[in-house]
Chains A and B, each alone.
Chain A
Amino acid sequence: MALPVNATRGQHVWYWCLRVICAFGFLFLVGPIVVIVPISFSSGSFLSYPLPGLSLRWYETVVEPFPWMFALENSLIVAVATTLIATTLGTLAAYGLTRAHFPGKPLIFGLLISPLAVPVVISALGLYFFFARVGLVQTHAGLIIAHVVLAVPFVVITVSATLKGFDWNLVRAAESLGAPPLSAFFQVTLPLIAPGVLAGAVFAFVTSLDEVIVALFVSGPAQITLPRQLFTGLRDQLDPSIVAIATILILFSLALLAVVELLQWRNARHRSRGDT
């Protein structure tokens, strides 16, 4: 966005208006996330500036087994299981959907990614009723199944997108060189679509780790996850330990952002290599 060399007065005004709006927008997006980080190192218990002093006392609260470490453990168990299941099922389905034509393919694809389109509260309600009848309410298994439903569309989408640029002649080459289909899949297809699969896995992991609505519906005290504990904390008693846990999660999302950017960059590089 640059100002033309011989801009009119109106253009000048307009240009600066836009700049101010943009500056406000970026500040608005990132400011809150950045501003709360120092508070987590406060030695006082007020959530405001100026800080009375620096300390790690709130991080000491966070590493106490209860409630945060317990919630973290639950979250990790559920997120890891969700990621494994969603990535496997999603990759298989995306591969099957791209490999051949069969009737109703667009419909099936739409169905597989439909959990993205339905408001989470509604999915949570349906899952809650279903789990109530089959006895999965307040179990880890129930929470994992619910999270797989919400996470699997991301895997299907990313893997399908990667497979769209995939050169199927490579599979033919592998087979003509003596590799049976399964072996060709593991030795050629999978390594080449790995960036897409990994990106899908990261999405699945984040989806599970950040999910709270379904957890509120279907989990019990034994399955309290990190977001659910945050929700309770924010509603009931607000103290800087929440900010400390938030800071840790912000660092985590920064790391994930870096990973995904790297994966997409690698994927793009791979693809540009393919057509020499």
Chain B
Amino acid sequence: MTAPAGSNLEVKLRRAQRRRSFTSFLLVAPLLLFILVVFAGPILSLLYFSIDDPKLAEVMPRTAKIVTAWDGAELPGEDAYAAVVEEIRTGYANRTVAAAAMRLNYEISGFRSMVMRTGRKIRRITGPPYRDALIGLDERWGDITYWRAIKASAGPYTTRYLLAAVDLERRWDGSVAKAPPERTIYVEYLQRTFWISFWVLACCILIGYPMAYLIATSGRRTSRILLALVLLPFWTSLLVRTAAWVVLLQNKGIVNDFLLLAGIVDEPLTLIFNRTGVYIAMVHILLPFLVLPLYAVMRNVPPDQLRAAASLGARPVAAFLSVYLPQTLPGLGAGCILVFILSLGFYITPALIGGASDQMLSYLIAEFATRTGNWGMASAIAILLLLSVAALYPVYRGLVRGGTGFRFG
């Protein structure tokens, strides 16, 4: 084969290819645009919301400007007090001050009511000196920690949410330190999320590996039936399965009835609204996600292999460890990481079956977003969770590409 006549040819070729690529791309474009706008954009915007801090600067722009310039070492000057009085006065009149007060409350609890009370009484201040007048309304205005809180809230950007998500906070002098004990709850949630996911995964492996092996090595008919038994819960609504466990696990529920009847226990066990219930329900929901990829891999391991190993003198355990297990590792790995990733994001099941101390990161996100309206904190924890999942994803991709292609369904 000979080289083309000139580079002119290459240009033409590329143009022709581009035309075909372009028409194909046009087919992809609607969905791509949709996903970018409605999904990827909003997810990226979480990064922004986790550092976005506009509230105080919006309502009290002059105050924000003055405290930003203030060094925070000693109480600020009269101009800062004057700005606060004026901006609380206008903010209270047009009802915008509550948003700023809410933001200040994240820094020191009680700050919100302090601002609102100041607002109610602000009419009493008629002229300078504002410093004495304000301290006269509420002596906490003379406490430097409250001014430092205002400085920390002045925005427009803040690292407080991201730091808080890992139990850290920024001191007024700029140093980063561990948050006070009443606020160090987030790392505990993170640890708990990983801890629950780990045990759920361990149980799934213990039960799922033999199940997948049984399905893969049974006869055609049996394996179809067994597979259907795995697929039925897989296809059943998550809410329905959770509902089933709520019904089953109650103190007077079917499981306790059975245990009492069989004489295994003397009094009903507490199985719901605690960790046990969460484990049971989560394993139930996630087990198919381990069994199905494992089965897909095991089906392709020829049964002759174990016989061959035995004929070569390997004892059963040695044959399993040296011949069978290594061949199923890609499926096992893929299934494990799938289960682990999915369980990291669990929300519904712990919310309905767990107690207060069994909630995971997702619960915090939902609480902050929908109940307290703290977008910054919700975004920061979402980023924490997203990073946890993202760290595992490359491993999953690698394993799936290495093993046989597993499809859902």
> Are the CB atoms of A32 and B365 closer together than 8 Å?
no
Q: Which residues of A contact B76 (CB under 8 A)?
A: none
Q: Per a CB cutoff under 8 Å, which of B213, B240, B241, B370 touches A18? A: B213
> B26 contacts the other chain (Cβ, under 8 Å)?
yes
> B244 contacts the other chain (Cβ, under 8 Å)?
yes
- A2 to B213: give the CA distance in the assembly, Å: 11
> A264 contacts the other chain (Cβ, under 8 Å)?
yes
User: Which single residue of chain B is at the shortest CB-CB distance from A113?
Assistant: B35
> B233 contacts the other chain (Cβ, under 8 Å)?
yes
> Are the CB atoms of B366 and A217 closer together than 8 Å?
yes
> Are the CB atoms of A115 and B389 closer together than 8 Å?
no
> Are the CB atoms of B385 and A28 closer together than 8 Å?
no
Q: Per a CB cutoff under 8 Å, which of A18, A30, A210 touches B239? A: A210
Question: Distance (Å) between the CB of A95 and the closest chain B CB?
Answer: 6
Could you tell me how many residues of chain A have their Cβ less than 8 Å away from some Cβ of chain B? 92
User: Which single residue of chain A is at the shortest CB-CB distance from B352?
Assistant: A234
| Given A96-B28, A122-B365, A122-B385, A114-B352 contact (CB < 8 Å) | no
> A163 contacts the other chain (Cβ, under 8 Å)?
no
> B42 contacts the other chain (Cβ, under 8 Å)?
yes
> Are the CB atoms of A32 and B248 closer together than 8 Å?
yes
> Are the CB atoms of B369 and A32 closer together than 8 Å?
no
Q: Per a CB cutoff under 8 Å, which of A29, A48, A95, A250 touches B257? A: A48
| Given A112-B35, A250-B240, A217-B369 contact (CB < 8 Å) | yes
Question: Distance (Å) between the CB of A42 and the closest chain B CB?
Answer: 11
> Are the CB atoms of A89 and B38 closer together than 8 Å?
no
User: Which single residue of chain B is at the shortest CB-CB distance from A203?
Assistant: B409
Interface centre among A22, A121, A158 (most CB of B within 10 A): A121
Question: Distance (Å) between the CB of B302 and the closest chain A CB?
Answer: 15
> Are the CB atoms of B39 and A93 closer together than 8 Å?
no
> B246 contacts the other chain (Cβ, under 8 Å)?
yes
Dominant SS among interface residues on chain A = helix
> A84 contacts the other chain (Cβ, under 8 Å)?
no
> Are the CB atoms of B254 and A93 closer together than 8 Å?
no
> Are the CB atoms of A246 and B240 closer together than 8 Å?
yes
> Are the CB atoms of B28 and A118 closer together than 8 Å?
no
**Cβ < 8 Å to B, chain A residues 119-157:** 119-130, 145-146, 148-149, 152, 154, 156-157
> A67 contacts the other chain (Cβ, under 8 Å)?
no
> A254 contacts the other chain (Cβ, under 8 Å)?
yes
Q: Which residues of B contact A29 (CB under 8 A)?
A: 229-230, 232-233, 284, 287-288
Dominant SS among interface residues on chain B = helix
> Are the CB atoms of B42 and A25 closer together than 8 Å?
no
0/1 interface trace, chain A 53-95, chain B, CB 8 Å (1 if under):
0000000000000000000000000000000000001101101
Question: Distance (Å) between the CB of B14 and the closest chain A CB?
Answer: 12
Q: Per a CB cutoff under 8 Å, which of B27, B49, B240 touches A95? A: B27
Segment of B140-148, B328-336, B374-382 engaged in the interface with chain A: B374-382
Q: Which residues of A contact B40 (CB under 8 A)?
A: 111, 114
> Are the CB atoms of B46 and A99 closer together than 8 Å?
no
| Given A48-B252, A212-B348, A235-B352, A149-B39 contact (CB < 8 Å) | yes
| Given A89-B30, A121-B365, A199-B409, A129-B347 contact (CB < 8 Å) | no
| Given A25-B211, A238-B246, A257-B228, A99-B409 contact (CB < 8 Å) | no
> Are the CB atoms of A210 and B31 closer together than 8 Å?
no
Q: Which residues of A contact B226 (CB under 8 A)?
A: 26
Question: Distance (Å) between the CB of B8 and the closest chain A CB?
Answer: 23
Q: Which residues of A contact B241 (CB under 8 A)?
A: 32-33
Question: Distance (Å) between the CB of A131 and the closest chain B CB?
Answer: 9
> Are the CB atoms of B347 and A122 closer together than 8 Å?
no
> Are the CB atoms of B239 and A230 closer together than 8 Å?
yes
Interface centre among B26, B218, B239, B284 (most CB of A within 10 A): B239
Q: Per a CB cutoff under 8 Å, which of B30, B211, B239, B369 touches A227? A: B239
User: Which single residue of chain A is at the shortest CB-CB distance from B365?
Assistant: A121
> A179 contacts the other chain (Cβ, under 8 Å)?
no
> B245 contacts the other chain (Cβ, under 8 Å)?
yes
Interface centre among A96, A99, A209 (most CB of B within 10 A): A96
**Cβ < 8 Å to A, chain B residues 230-278:** 230-233, 235-248, 250, 252-254, 257
**Cβ < 8 Å to B, chain A residues 246-276:** 246, 249-250, 253-254, 256-257, 260-261, 264
Question: Distance (Å) between the CB of A129 and the closest chain B CB?
Answer: 6
> A216 contacts the other chain (Cβ, under 8 Å)?
yes
Q: Per a CB cutoff under 8 Å, which of A30, A130, A209, A254 touches B41? A: A130
> B157 contacts the other chain (Cβ, under 8 Å)?
no
> Are the CB atoms of A121 and B39 closer together than 8 Å?
no
0/1 interface trace, chain B 311-333, chain A, CB 8 Å (1 if under):
00000100000000000000000
The 7 closest A-B CB pairs, nearest first, are: A119-B345, A96-B27, A126-B42, A100-B24, A102-B21, A96-B28, A121-B362
